[in-house]
Structure 1
Amino acid sequence: MFKSVLDSAAAADGGSLALFVERIDGQTEQFVINRSLASRGTPAYNKIVSSLRPLSADDCQTIAAALEPLLTTTPPIHPLADFINTLKQQPSSFEN
């Protein structure tokens, strides 16, 4: 599903994170964890969205599993592990 982690970034909104990964099909997919100050205490807080597709809870589990092998080639200071853990915690009622 994924070839490599290309980049990551932190937003100026108080804590949101972005992860850019190269997919097998050559496209770059961006995942964003919403951790903005404005979203704290709301259902939107800590939700992950994709730049290419809506995500169901099952999709999040599949993506987390597909990202795990990239942990061996990504520096430990990178937020990849945080993305994997957050994807695994998405509630079953989650829809983008």
Structure 2
Amino acid sequence: MRWKISVVVPITSPKGVIFGVLIIGKKKSGTKYSVEEIELLKAVAIQTAASVERIKLQEEIITEKLEAEKQIELNRQKSLFVSSVSHDL
């Protein structure tokens, strides 16, 4: 089966990282895509890249927060352990 691709628009971050591509086939009408339609697809790709960047940053923040909470809990447990050992001695 042959792919009938008419337009390929990269989805890239402002730093140039490629997240993916929009692959668009032929129009049912058979006409070519206009400059305005291509510009709209580029705008969609830019917005998609911005959303992916935002999600990645949110994941990093959540991971850092979980790590910080884990560290606080470990410190609390260590303090409790040292307190118990000191009391027993």
Q: TM-score, normalised by structure 1?
A: 0.23
Which protein is bigger by CA-based radius of gyration?
A: 2
